[in-house]
Structure 1
Amino acid sequence: MSNAKVEKLNNELEHRYASNVSKYTRKVSNMERVFLWHSNCNVSMAARIKGNVSEERLSSALNMVRQMHPLIGAKIMFDGDYNAWFSTENVPQHKIKVVNRVSDTQWFGELQKEVQSPFDLEIGPLVKFILVHSQESSDLVVICNHSICDGMALVYLVRDLLNCYINPEKEIKTLFPPYSNEFLPDKGGFSLSSVFTRLIMYQVNRKWKKHPYYFTHEDYVALQTAYWEKNQYGAVLLELDSEEAKTLSKQCTKNGVTVGSAVTTAFIAAYEDVLGPLTKSQKQISVPFDLRRHATTPIGDVFCFCIGSTRFSYTYEPKKPFWKNVAVLHKEIHERVKKLDSSGLKAPNLHPTLMDAFSCFVPLKKVVPNAYEKTENLRQFSQDTKNIAFEVAGKSEHLNPGIIPSNLGRLNIPENYGDLQIDRMVFLPAISDIVPLILGGISIGGKMVFSMTYPEPKGRNMRIADEMIQIRNRALKYLGFLDKASESAIM
């Protein structure tokens, strides 16, 4: 990637949006807005750091990183038409929550508690930090609203935090975040289907504007509270040490596939072994890919939502050998990513408030119906079932994938920062009440960690957690690590 091209792009963005990071503003795209209001759409990263992390130095480093990446210190502002804008003006400083570390799994309990507390979107910031601290080893947990970041953004945030931690005099250059769709190929051209789609969107927007709803922080808190009264955040980890990771990598190389394809296939096969075949509509896979790596225009290590996603049908064939199934999935993924096929990440050209309604406030009515009696706005909306938002949501249900594997792969960042060392990292994607299988993968220092995240309904004696552990253990068997089976979800 050419440094000169990245610098040129960043200068253009700086001119377009702001000349002063303290007053940075940018409109929220429809794709970013899909994730803005969701109770369960936070993404997280946990980094285990060997060495004694200073809370004071980490706080100073965080102040520096806010200058480097504007969205870390952003809030949401709404204009007269209820368009949403990211803004860094008058956003409070971050407060790092620090707790004494007493176990290797404590970090996950802290994360489970913190995700239940809603972000105040119009005050900000939209990122939370927890340091589970001991003098020998600490776990740094970052929880972020998905509208402003993806998995690689969290990786760069951890890296830049530690770089600023050991270089407090470091000169800061602001990286202004672009829209992700600026770096997807422009299909362009005239077609009857595109004209037809625009006409439909025009009619849908026209109907919405006759009966719109404008959702508020009060509505958001009502949904968030009801959701986490009913559920808790669940995750099961599949971990391989450096030797085990080498063994798997060699096996994948032998079969001409990647580790990500192999692990994804193993989890699909394991899921169907434990819980039965996915339904026909669920046999769709949506594979996110990092536009920083794959876009034709260099972007740089920006902190923002910057992913494409390809979507296609995939069926695991149990009568065929496991590695044959992996090869089929691997070929499909890599051909589509090479073409920057973004079919799995297309936000329709709907009015932004209609995006709020059909992407969040309609689906959650099925999950937490009691929340819709908490505010007058939600009550009126839930009763207005003939509203176009409910029709759009219903017609879009068939597009929901059954599988989303977000594999960040082997990280190209340093492990050592002065007297600190990243021992491992865990990437935890958003959970979903619609998508049965969500995976997050990451590798650093030779160690691989894959997470499977899900909502765990409270009061069911952890039945779903037991099923998820069975799926993880079965996936280990497919990958050749049967002896690593465990009854623990987090290790």
Structure 2
Amino acid sequence: MSAPPGRPLSLFERALYGDGSLPGNVVVTACIEGRIDPAALLRALSQAQARHPLLRCLIVEREGRPWFELRRTPPQIPLRIIDRRSDEDWLTWSERELQRCFDGRREPLARLLWLRGEHRSELVLICHHAICDGRALTHLLGELLRDCDGPERAIETRDALPSFADWLPAAVRADRGLQRSIRWRAAALALALRLLVRDRPAQHYGAIYRELWTLDEAVSRRLSEQCRAQHVSAYVAISLAFVLAFRAVCGAQRIQRFVAPVDMRSLLPNLGDRDLFGIAPTVELRPGKTGAGTAAPDEFWTRARALQAELQRRIEVLPAKVYRNFLGLERLHGVFDRMVVYGRSRREGRQLTLSNLGRLSLTQDYRGFHLRAVRGISGVVGATPAHQLVISRYAGRYDFSLSSDEESLPRAHALRIREHAMDLLMALTAPQAQPHAEPAPVSAEPVRAA
């Protein structure tokens, strides 16, 4: 009897999933005004499973590796309904769900929590990062909202489970020189991992927390207008403000790397815009020396334009590195356990990830309800998210989520960082702080990060 259809997890997916004992989740909350039909919501979840084969998979062991195994009659995506008691309930529940592990052996790697009120509700969507990045998460949320509000429609069930290599351009798969280079690099790295990595205790961290806040429409509009006037993306301006804030609060040497996750869909032509996908390469942001964490308006915008130009250059050379690195990783499954030991024994907290989701393209008005806000997009992979900032914009408002743990960054310090960054951005958007704009050296389009 043949085995059920499926495919092995890529090494990057294995790293995100681990052994299932640590969280690897992404979460988003939709704030709803109006009424949702429970039967329609269940139907929407069923349609999502038909549309996305990864939502019909369980994790199984085959040939010494974890596989996505496609089930013909999969377990349903869990829907939990809880009576809504206050406007703040979603904060507690979303944080709890963010840290609650999936059991991929028994359930799909997605679940939905409905905080149900008479006139207002929140839908908290949680997915595992192994199948879903921030962009895929918000697309999936949009599909659920659309399907639970519209008439029942026929959905063609999709069964294809392409591997990472299937998404690559044909020219990359056929490049023999690249394959030879990958083979030698991977062999050298595997040998080093076998010889040099010894069993070491895993690092332990403090309690995970998130700081969530939103700018009002007027302030958000002024920030966007000022960025356009200065030929700088809002993402770069906000990122630089937080670099300055971290250095002001933590010192210039505490955070050694600033990185931006980049949406891989532009690099993988066979991957659809709305396909579920959880892998995101990063590029390093190099803001240079920034003094004591402050900057006059002219100096700030000059630095921002330089940072944007450097970021654009790094993104332009990213494809070749991505193809080489990710194909090389597929040759390291035999030393995956050594990689896990090495990764968990290294102390986190020296890096700030600045993730940009940009403007969310979600409909606001439906037949039965209104989408008031999209809040708290966050992720955690492993024992700590230290440190992560997620930036998004919906309904004219910028939304922020700053995550870490109490040992790597005490929450009191995170509050000071938030205040410092926001004060800096407010000062830059004040009428008297608007310097003469200079020509843009590169495209001012925001970097779309995962």
Q: What's the TM-score bracket when you normalise by the shorter of the two chains? A: 0.7 to 0.9
Give the aligned length: 409
Flag the 1:365–1:339 CA change in 2: closer, same or farther, 3 A. closer
Q: Does 1:411 align with 2:360?
A: yes
Gaps of 5+ in 1: 1-22, 214-222, 368-396, 484-491
Partner of 2:432: none
* 1:246-265 equivalences in 2 (<5 Å): 246-265=221-240
Match of residue 51, structure 2, among 43, 68, 72:
68
Q: Distance in 1 between matches of 2:174 and 2:256?
A: 30
Partner of 2:435: none
Gaps of 5+ in 2: 430-450
Q: Does 1:466 align with 2:447?
A: no
Q: Distance in 1 between matches of 2:287 and 2:356?
A: 17
Q: Secondary structure of the residue that 2:315 maps to in structure 1?
A: helix
* 1:107-256 equivalences in 2 (<5 Å): 107-174=90-157, 176=160, 178-179=162-163, 182-183=167-168, 186=172, 198-202=183-187, 205=190, 231-256=206-231
Match of residue 444, structure 1, among 389, 394, 398:
394
Flag the 1:165–1:235 CA change in 2: closer, same or farther, 3 A. same
* 1:248-287 equivalences in 2 (<5 Å): 248-279=223-254, 282-287=255-260
The percentage of counterpart residues that share the same residue type is: 22
Distance apart, 1:144 and its partner CA: 1.7
Q: Distance in 1 between matches of 2:332 and 2:404?
A: 30
Q: Distance in 2 between matches of 1:104 and 1:145?
A: 26
Q: Does 1:420 align with 2:369?
A: yes
* 1:282-293 equivalences in 2 (<5 Å): 282-292=255-265
Q: Secondary structure of the residue that 2:28 maps to in structure 1?
A: strand
Q: Distance in 1 between matches of 2:162 and 2:217?
A: 36
Flag the 1:190–1:237 CA change in 2: closer, same or farther, 3 A. same
Partner of 2:300: 322
| 1:102-159 deviations in Å (ceiling 9; x for gaps) | 2222212112333443211222211121111212221111222111110011111111
Question: Contact (CA 8 Å) 2:356, 2:391: kept in 1 or not?
Answer: yes
Flag the 1:117–1:482 CA change in 2: closer, same or farther, 3 A. same
TM-score norm. by structure 1 comes to 0.73
Q: Distance in 1 between matches of 2:30 and 2:427?
A: 24
AA in 2 matched with 1:145? H
Distance apart, 1:68 and its partner CA: 0.7
Q: Does 1:351 align with 2:324?
A: no
Partner of 1:374: none
Question: Contact (CA 8 Å) 1:43, 1:151: kept in 2 or not?
Answer: yes
Question: Contact (CA 8 Å) 2:385, 2:405: kept in 1 or not?
Answer: no
Partner of 2:77: 94
* 1:331-370 equivalences in 2 (<5 Å): 331-341=309-319, 343=321, 346-347=325-326, 348-352=329-333, 354-358=335-339, 360-365=340-345
Distance apart, 1:34 and its partner CA: 1.5
Question: Contact (CA 8 Å) 2:267, 2:319: kept in 1 or not?
Answer: no
Question: Contact (CA 8 Å) 1:83, 1:352: kept in 2 or not?
Answer: no
TM-score norm. by structure 2 comes to 0.79
Partner of 2:276: 303
Partner of 1:453: 403
Partner of 1:372: none
Question: Contact (CA 8 Å) 1:322, 1:478: kept in 2 or not?
Answer: no
Partner of 1:220: none
Bigger helix fraction: 1
Q: Distance in 1 between matches of 2:69 and 2:261?
A: 23
Flag the 1:341–1:200 CA change in 2: closer, same or farther, 3 A. closer
What is the CA RMSD across the aligned residues, in angstroms? 3.6
* 1:38-57 equivalences in 2 (<5 Å): 39-57=22-40
Match of residue 480, structure 1, among 410, 426, 429:
426
Match of residue 379, structure 2, among 424, 429, 440:
429
Distance apart, 1:363 and its partner CA: 3.3
